[in-house]
Structure 1
Amino acid sequence: MKAIVCTKYGSPDVLELKEVEKPAPKDNEVLVKVHAASLNAADVETLRGVFWVRIGGPLKPMYKILGSDIAGRVAAVGRNVKQFQPSDEVFGDLSVCGFGAFAEYVSVPENALRLKPDSMTFEEAATYPQAAILALQGLRDKGQIEPGQKVLINGAGGGVGTFAVQIVKYFGAEVTGVDSTRKLDMLCSIGTDQVIDYTQEDFTKSGQRYDLILDVVAYRSIFDYKRALSPKGIYVFVGGSTAAIFQALFLGPLISMTGSRKMGIVMWKPNKKEDLVFLKKLFEAGKVVPVIDRCYPLSEVPEALRYLEEGHAQGKVVITM
């Protein structure tokens, strides 16, 4: 089978399209013929070898085939598999079981997969496992979103952000989206109430206060975000710079303990069945639908990652087989 292989950390230039051995499923595994995969910021971080990635592989990636979000069809099952059978259409997040989405086939534990809704295309299904779940858990579980609140999404035009905007609207809150100039029209088209062009305005200095901030691209001081919160507001970190991660991890709990504002990181639970069922219902009702910017063939994964890394993607970037 063909796969995008990564043998060292670096830029997308280190990736190679190679012919590799097709995996065989173990007793508790499912062999999936991949129809679509989607990119996440974590794919770039893994490729670049940021510090938390190097904990598992200090000198080179622990896994040679990257990519976590897949949608495809079951090709074979191990003898102990109970949930699936050949020809089932499935999707899931492989980030906790060895990655491998950037390939024609991947063999994964059955508990990493869910049946794909018939109403979704493979491309649409591949966008959900990480980005939509992060948005939902960040807003509902960590952010405790309520109707009528003022919610700000920083990085609203990306994969997690476009899901988050629609989820906020579903819960009956008012949403402000922050992103670059070229993404503002798209954000308005998916229901954003107010948009802020970060190249023209710093929302942490505007004087506006928000009940909930979901931050997908954190890079400011955590105290800047605290200033933009209402007295009982909640700040939820989803992604951003290394410095921002450390501040959210160590300063966030201290700020939360010493005042009425709450600040912390979403402790994301991948492949949670109840969340995927909930999102499926929202999709079928037309309330939360994926925004897909571009689709690339498997051979162009390096180009797709470059595009994602540049920060220009409006919504999700998808790999098709």
Structure 2
Amino acid sequence: MSHSTSIEQAGIVDSDVRSPSTMRATTYEDYGDASVLKIAEVPVPHRLPGQVLIKVQASSVNPIDYRLRRGEMKGLLPFGFPRIPGYDVAGTIADCASDSIFRIGDRVMAFLDHARGGACAEFAVCATDVTAKLPDSMPFDEAAAIPLAGTTALQSLRDHGQIAAGKRVLINGASGGVGAFAIQIAKAYGAIVTAVASGDNESFCVSLGADKFYDYHNTDFTELSKQWDLIFDAAGKSGYFDSRDVLTENGRYVSTEPDVKGMLVTLLTWPLSKSGKVMLAKPNAEDLRELIQLYESGKMSVTIDSRFSLDDVAAAHRRVESGIDRGKVVLINQRPHTEK
């Protein structure tokens, strides 16, 4: 895809962090397909106490973004319009309190803590405690790929899956944005990892550390005579009751499918020895710092499927909706040049 190389290497340098009164942002006024996404000039969000204002250099698109845009979760998030999509941010601090742990110009990543998003814009605000400082070695495009997907993988495995060295972990949807991080995080914690994805992603999953691989076209892992201590369905394609027989006693099933059926599974199975959990990641700076540390230590890399400009958010959404085989779709903020 031309977008994967068309935008300059995204370690964007921008020394001007002053914030104007308005900004360009991707907005939508109603639910619908990707065509509802439009570029608009909107006010720069106001920073409240305990918040930072970030000049966004890069963000990324996650499945939750197009699902919200299509109205799939309007019962859970019944907010009004217009909306600015996106939860992943990488950029520089444009404004913060004088006693903040950050300084203007600091390079940061953030997992936005607003239910409606706000990342697909030139500026975004969020709480200080969902923001983490970036090392100089991490380019903005790679940083922007991490927050939501990396936090989802980390919290699913560590908090809900109680991962530990020697535990047998199966990751379904292992080559996607969340799954690729999950393989690497599980290996960093010393787990034995089985990856499930399409056959052409076997070498990719093995390169990330998977010990065993199954092509879901040829093998239904729920029908195997094996058992795992943790099944993490990063694709939302299996179900707790389908997977129960291949869980060990006291095994755990974790999914990222945020729907009513999944929530019921969480409620109904929590007392059982084999529990099921449908999780939604919670923004947390400590978790971002752990992910950054894994990156810096070489235990976690970032795979980018493609890069799009802010003006091409609709195309980026369509790319994610079509199904990503490997890695993340990243948005690079570049104000278009105007002729004088």
Q: TM-score, normalised by structure 1?
A: 0.89
Query: Any idea what SS the aligned residue of 2:236 has?
Result: coil
Distance change >3 Å, CA 286–CA 244, structure 1 → 2: farther
Deviation digits for residues 110-162 of structure 1 (CA, Å, limit 9, x no counterpart)? 33322122221111211222111111111112111122222100111111110
Output aligned runs, 1:219-258, within 5 Å: 219-239=237-257, 242=259, 244-253=261-270, 257-258=271-272
The gaps in structure 2 that reach 5 residues or longer are 1-22, 334-340
Distance change >3 Å, CA 223–CA 24, structure 1 → 2: closer
Amino acid corresponding to residue 223 of structure 1 in structure 2: F
Amino acid corresponding to residue 63 of structure 2 in structure 1: A
**2:208 aligned partner:** 190
Q: Find the partner of 1:306 among 315, 318, 336.
A: 318
Q: Find the partner of 1:284 among 278, 293, 296.
A: 296
Task: State whether structure 2 residue 138 is matched by structure 1 residue 112.
Answer: no
Q: Find the partner of 1:264 among 263, 273, 277.
A: 277
Distance change >3 Å, CA 2–CA 267, structure 1 → 2: closer
Output aligned runs, 1:147-226, within 5 Å: 147-226=165-244
Identity %: 37
Deviation digits for residues 170-211 of structure 1 (CA, Å, limit 9, x no counterpart)? 122211111223332321221211221212221101222111
Q: CA separation in 1, counterparts of 2:285 and 2:102?
A: 17
**1:57 aligned partner:** 78
Query: Any idea what SS the aligned residue of 1:114 has?
Result: strand
Q: CA separation in 2, counterparts of 1:221 and 1:55?
A: 21
Offset of 1:72 from its aligned partner? 0.4
Amino acid corresponding to residue 70 of structure 1 in structure 2: V
- Aligned residue pairs: how many? 311
**1:73 aligned partner:** 92
Q: CA separation in 1, counterparts of 2:81 and 2:132?
A: 25
Distance change >3 Å, CA 233–CA 24, structure 1 → 2: closer
**2:337 aligned partner:** none
Q: TM-score, normalised by structure 2?
A: 0.84
Amino acid corresponding to residue 75 of structure 2 in structure 1: R
Distance change >3 Å, CA 124–CA 221, structure 1 → 2: closer
Task: State whether structure 2 residue 328 is matched by structure 1 residue 316.
Answer: yes
RMSD after superposition: 2.2
Amino acid corresponding to residue 155 of structure 1 in structure 2: G
Distance change >3 Å, CA 208–CA 74, structure 1 → 2: same
Query: Any idea what SS the aligned residue of 2:281 has?
Result: coil
The gaps in structure 1 that reach 5 residues or longer are none
Offset of 1:82 from its aligned partner? 1.9
